[in-house]
Amino acid sequence: MRVLSGIQSSGTLHLGNYFGMMKRMIKYQNENDLFCFIANYHALTTLPNARNLSENTFHAACDFLALGLDPDRCTFWVQSDVPQVTELTWILTSLVNRGLLDRATSYKDKIGKGLKPNMGLYSYPILMAADILLFGGELVPVGNDQKQHLEMTREIANKFNNQYGEIFAIPKEDILEKVKLVPGTDGQKMSKSYNNTIPIFEDGKLIRKKVMKITTDASEIDEPKSTDAPLFELFNLFLNNDDRKKLISRFETPGARYGDIKQDLFDKIMDYFEPFRKNKERLIQNPSDVFDILNLGAKKAQKSANQVLEKVRSCTGIKYK
C-alpha cells in the first residue's frame, strides 16, 4: 500500500508531531511503499522570512532522519524539489469551487490567530490534495486536525475522476485514537502556533521548563489525582499497558506530588529521545550528506510524479501536441 504524509517546515518539532504522525510513518517504512516529504511550500504561507524557512526545512529533514526514517526504504524529499506539484495544484484549482475552501476550518483558525489571509493560506487544501494525488497516496497518517483536509482531497479527487476518467487513487486518512490530539502544556491541542509545545530536540533545560509548565488542577497532595488531565495523557504516550496501569494507580493513590510526576516525565522524554538526539547532532554536522539524500529522494519522487502528471496533462487537454 502506498502510504504518504508530510510535515510543514514551519517551526520546531514537538511531541504532537512525533506521536501524531512521524512515529507511525517511520514504522510503516518496514511494510509499505512509503512516501514522505517536507512541505516547505505550505510553510511559506505562514513564514515569509527566507532564512527561517530554509533553515527550518533543513532541520525538518534532519528531524525525520534522526528519528529513524531510512531513505533506502522510502522516498523522502522536499516538496519544492518536485515543482510538478504546483502544476497539478493549478489544474485542480480550476476545478475546485470556492465554497469548498470557504468551509476550511484550519484557514479560519489561522486567520483567527492573526495570520495574514494570503491566497496561499486560502488555497492550502488544494496544494495538499495535489501532494497526495500526484503520488497516488492511499493511506495518509496524520493527526486529527488534518481530517478535513483529507475529506477535501477525496472530494477533489472524485470530482476530477468523474470529469476526466479514473486517474487518481482515493486516499484515506490514518488517524490513531490514542494520539490523534496530543495536548499541549495548557491542555489545548499541542501546536507550534499556540506556544504550548514540548519540543523534542531543544536543550534539556528548556524542555524541563516546558514540562514543569504543564497545567494541573489544585488538588492537595493527600487527594487522588484525575487521570483526565494533560500530564497523564502526555506521560501515557511513553507507556505500555502495564506501565499505564502503574501510572493510573500513582495518580489515584493519595500522596502523589505533581512536581515529582513532572520530573519523571521529563526524565522519560530525555531518555526516550537520547539516541535520536545524537543522530540529529551528527546530521547537522554533515549537511552535504543530508542534501545528497534529499537530491536522490527528489529524483525518485519526480519520476513517480511525472507518470501521473502526464496522464493529467493529457486528459485535461493541457497537452496539445
Q: Which is nearer to ligand TRP, 65 or 140 (CB)?
A: 140
- Residue type, position 32, single letter: N
Can residue 74 be called a binding residue for ligand TRP (CB under 6 A)? Answer: no
Grid cell digits, residue 190: 499541542
Tell me: does residue 283 bind ligand TRP (CB under 6 A): no
Q: Residue 132 interacts with ligand TRP (CB under 6 A)?
A: yes
303's grid cell: 519520476
b/e for 310-321, b at 16 or more Cβ within 10 A? eebbebeeeeee
Assign residue 6 a region (left: φ > 0; alpha: ψ between -120 and 50; beta: otherwise): beta
Output the smallest distance, CB 234 to ligand TRP, in A: 20
Query: Which entry of ligand ADP, ligand TRP, none binds 73, CB below 5 to 8 A by partner kind?
Result: none
Binding site for ligand ADP (CB under 6 A): 7-8, 10, 16-17, 20-21, 142-143, 145-146, 179-182, 189-193
The helix (H) or strand (E) run that includes residue 41 is helix 40-44
Minimum distance, C-beta of residue 205 to ligand TRP, in the bound complex (Å): 28
Q: Using CB distances below 5 to 8 A depending on partner kind, what does residue 20 bind out of ligand TRP, ligand ADP, none?
A: ligand ADP
Which one, 190 or 309, has the nearer CB to ligand ADP? 190
Q: How far apart are CA 173 and CA 175, in angstroms?
A: 6
Residue 128 site contact among ligand ADP, ligand TRP, none (CB < 5 to 8 Å, cut-off depends on kind): ligand TRP
- Binder of ligand TRP out of 14, 24, 42, 189 (CB under 6 A): 42
**Smallest distance, Å, CB 15 to ligand ADP?**
8
Q: DSSP string spanning 243-266?
A: HHHHHHHHHHSTT--HHHHHHHHH
If the CB atoms of residues 192 and 262 are measured against ligand ADP, the closer one turns out to be 192
Q: Is 317 left (phi over 0), alpha (psi -120 to 50) or beta?
A: left
Binds ligand TRP (CB under 6 A): choice among 131, 179, 198, 308 = 131
Compute the least distance from the CB of residue 217 to ligand TRP, in Å: 31
Q: Are 138 and 169 in contact (CB under 8 A)?
A: yes
- Give 6 or 183: the residue with its C-beta nearer to ligand TRP: 6
Euclidean distance between CA atoms 38 and 297, whole angstroms = 11
Angle, helix 287-316 to helix 119-134, in steps of 10 degrees: 90
Amino acid at 158: N
Piece of 125-133, 213-221, 236-244, 256-264 that binds ligand TRP (CB under 6 A)? 125-133
Q: Which residues bind ligand TRP (CB under 6 A)?
A: 4-8, 39, 42, 128, 131-132, 140, 142, 146, 149
